[in-house]
């Protein structure tokens, strides 16, 4: 990860993924081939976030500082700004149609007209405490001519567009801002985390064909539906991997950390794929007898909760109206997608083709093995979003660290300091020399004459 040497600091971008189970800081750069090169990664456990929302400011600040510090060690630069993700059960979405009446029919529709139409959407009246996070154009209409994807260059008086608008709570957004800024970092922009994950794991062909991205995190499950290359629907389900851990804890009567290890090491989302006679032995509490747990029962607990989460996913897909238009099926990503046989369960339960999304689609060759995990999908997506924004609005994300002065220069400085003396010291030395000469002259006149002469 020492490739940062061949890149200018102004080309490097940084992103911070503040999740329920982890805080991840990533630093990278887009190379000449349009691929992302990862230069530094810092990942630490998150304790101050619940269901995607910051609940403890100090713990979150400490986690961000630690993650950023680890990422800085990998690149040898100081991170001064970052692109940050936002998620949580407070996220909502709605559809709205905007209209712009143009004065001049002779001029062509320009980007300024589209920007004005989009900015008008931010003036929508929302419930108290909510704010607009993203305004995503769906399709345009010019003088009642429907189904236009890019109206720039066309002539017309009436410009209309359908928008997918994503909203969230102001307090949740402010808390994330406060945590990042108290780490002496600037928030360049905020992106909804499922949109960032989609950038990292989905191909353009899948977005065009129609696909549902299901990001199973620790506290929430985020859904993003694409069709004809456009985001059509977004939703957040307030269940994630932590709920499965809690079920294992109560169903098997074990400690929280033991339940998490059981889920990660031995857990399976499909009970029929597990042998009946496999037994897991857990050390007893405080020298008590060891506890034995059937791997089949463990899989049944996990499968029951995963089927409930998939029911919510299926309900959201049907609510979007694109259930029969998703040729690409479902793509699972996030830490929860690492459960064994989860893709099979998803196919059985929903009837849609399913794959696990690994965020290496847009990475340059030579990436580290640790990023070949759905856990880093959101972080890599945020980094890609930052690089995309940097092309239009150049922003400095890192600064070079101040190098210490060379030893040779320091030695010369010390030598000069020894030579340089104050005026008072020079005067004192001059006076003492005159007194010495006067005393020697006086002694010479007063001494007795030599007898030999």
Provide mean pLDDT across the span 275-279: 85
Of the chain, the percentage scoring pLDDT greater than 90 comes to: 45
What does the pLDDT read at residue 285? Answer: 78
Provide mean pLDDT across the span 237-256: 91
Tell me which residue of 286, 247, 281, 243 sits closest to 265, measured CA to CA: 281
C-beta of residue 273 within 8 angstroms of C-beta of residue 298? no
What does the pLDDT read at residue 415? Answer: 38
What does the pLDDT read at residue 301? Answer: 94
Q: What is the mean pLDDT of the chain?
A: 84
6 pLDDT band, cuts 50/70/90, is low
Max CA separation in the chain (angstroms): 135
416 pLDDT band, cuts 50/70/90, is very low
78 pLDDT band, cuts 50/70/90, is confident
In this predicted model, which residue has the larger pLDDT, 169 or 426? 169
Provide mean pLDDT across the span 275-281: 86
Element (H, E) at 34: none
Show the domains of the chain with their CATH numbers.
1-195+367-425 (3.30.420.40), 203-360 (3.30.420.40)
Q: Which among 102-116, 190-204, 414-428 has the top mean pLDDT?
A: 190-204
In this predicted model, which residue has the larger pLDDT, 30 or 417? 30
Distances 134 to 41, 92, 166, 181, 234 between C-alpha atoms, Å? 27, 11, 5, 22, 11
C-beta of residue 165 within 8 angstroms of C-beta of residue 95? yes
Taking 70 as the threshold, does the pLDDT of residue 321 lie above it? yes
Pick from 161-175, 321-335, 374-388, 438-452: least confident: 438-452
Provide mean pLDDT across the span 7-34: 87
Distance CA 304, CA 229 (A): 34
447 pLDDT band, cuts 50/70/90, is low
445 pLDDT band, cuts 50/70/90, is low
Question: pLDDT tens across 41-75, in order?
Answer: 999 998 888 888 888 999 999 999 999 999 888 77
Task: Classify residue 178 by burial, with Cβ atoms within 10 Å: 0-12, 13-18, 19+.
Answer: middle
Question: pLDDT tens across 120-145, in order?
Answer: 999 888 889 999 999 999 889 998 88
Taking 90 as the threshold, does the pLDDT of residue 275 lie above it? no
C-beta of residue 374 within 8 angstroms of C-beta of residue 338? yes
Ramachandran region of residue 329, left (φ > 0), alpha (ψ -120 to 50) or beta? left
**Cβ count near 44 (within 10 Å):** 18
Distance CA 85, CA 432 (A): 75
Spatial strand order of the sheet with 330-333 comes to: 230-237, 221-227, 211-216, 330-333, 354-356
What does the pLDDT read at residue 206? Answer: 93
Question: pLDDT tens across 327-349, in order?
Answer: 999 999 999 999 999 999 999 99
Structure tokens at 366: 């030579």
């Amino acid at each position: 990860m020492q490739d940062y040497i061949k890149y200018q600091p102004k080309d490097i971008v940084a992103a911070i993924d503040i999740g329920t189970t982890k805080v991840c800081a990533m630093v990278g750069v887009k190379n000449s081939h349009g691929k992302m090169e990862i230069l530094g990664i810092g990942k630490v456990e998150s304790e101050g976030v619940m269901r995607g929302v910051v609940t403890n400011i100090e713990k979150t600040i400490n986690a961000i500082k630690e993650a950023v510090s680890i990422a800085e060690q990998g690149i040898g630069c100081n991170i001064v700004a970052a692109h940050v993700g936002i998620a949580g059960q407070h996220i909502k979405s709605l559809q709205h149609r905007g209209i712009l009446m143009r004065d001049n029919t002779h001029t062509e529709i320009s980007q300024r007209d589209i920007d004005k139409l989009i900015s008008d959407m931010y003036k929508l009246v929302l419930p108290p405490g909510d704010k607009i996070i993203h305004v995503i154009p769906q399709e345009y209409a010019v003088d009642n001519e429907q189904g236009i994807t890019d109206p720039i260059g066309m002539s017309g008086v009436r410009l209309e567009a359908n928008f997918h608008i994503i909203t969230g709570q102001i307090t949740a957004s402010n808390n994330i801002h406060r945590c990042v800024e108290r780490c002496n970092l600037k928030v360049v922009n905020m992106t909804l985390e499922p949109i960032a994950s989609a950038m990292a794991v989905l191909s353009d062909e899948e977005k065009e064909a129609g696909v549902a991205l299901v990001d199973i995190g620790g506290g929430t499950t985020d859904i993003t539906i694409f069709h004809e290359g456009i985001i059509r629907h977004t939703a957040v389900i307030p269940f994630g991997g932590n709920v499965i851990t809690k079920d294992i804890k109560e169903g098997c009567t074990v400690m929280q950390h033991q339940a998490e290890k059981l889920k990660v090491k031995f857990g399976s989302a499909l009970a029929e794929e597990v042998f009946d006679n496999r037994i897991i032995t857990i050390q007893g509490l405080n020298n008590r007898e060891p506890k034995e747990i059937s791997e089949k029962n463990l899989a049944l607990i996990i499968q029951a909760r995963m089927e409930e989460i998939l029911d919510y996913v299926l309900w959201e897909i049907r609510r979007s109206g694109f259930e029969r238009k998703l040729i690409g099926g479902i793509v699972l990503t996030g830490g929860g997608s690492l459960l064994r046989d989860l893709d099979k369960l998803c196919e059985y339960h929903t009837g849609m083709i399913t794959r696990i999304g690994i965020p290496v689609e847009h990475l340059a060759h030579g990436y580290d093995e640790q990023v070949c995990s759905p856990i880093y999908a959101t972080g890599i997506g945020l980094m890609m979003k930052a690089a995309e924004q940097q092309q239009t609005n150049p922003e400095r994300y890192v600064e070079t660290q101040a190098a210490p002065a060379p030893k040779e220069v320091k030695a010369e400085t010390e030598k000069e300091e020894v030579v340089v003396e104050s005026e008072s010291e020079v005067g004192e030395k001059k006076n003492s020399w005159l007194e010495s000469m006067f005393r020697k002259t006086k002694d010479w006149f007063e001494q007795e004459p030599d007898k030999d002469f």
